[in-house]
Amino acid sequence: MAKDNSGGMLVAFVIGALTGAAVALLYAPATGEETREYLGQKAREGKAKAREAMDQGREYYAQNRDNLVTAVERGREAFQQARERGDQV
Q: What is the pLDDT of residue 5?
A: 66
Tell me what pLDDT residue 89 has.
52
Distance between CA atoms of 74 and 78, rounded to whole angstroms?
6
Give the residue extent of every domain in the chain: 6-85
pLDDT mean for each 10 residues of the chain (89 residues): 65 85 76 84 90 88 84 90 76
Query: What's the confidence (pLDDT) of residue 1?
Result: 42
pLDDT at 88: 61
- pLDDT recorded at residue 4: 62
pTM of the model: 0.45
CB 53 within 8 A of CB 10: yes
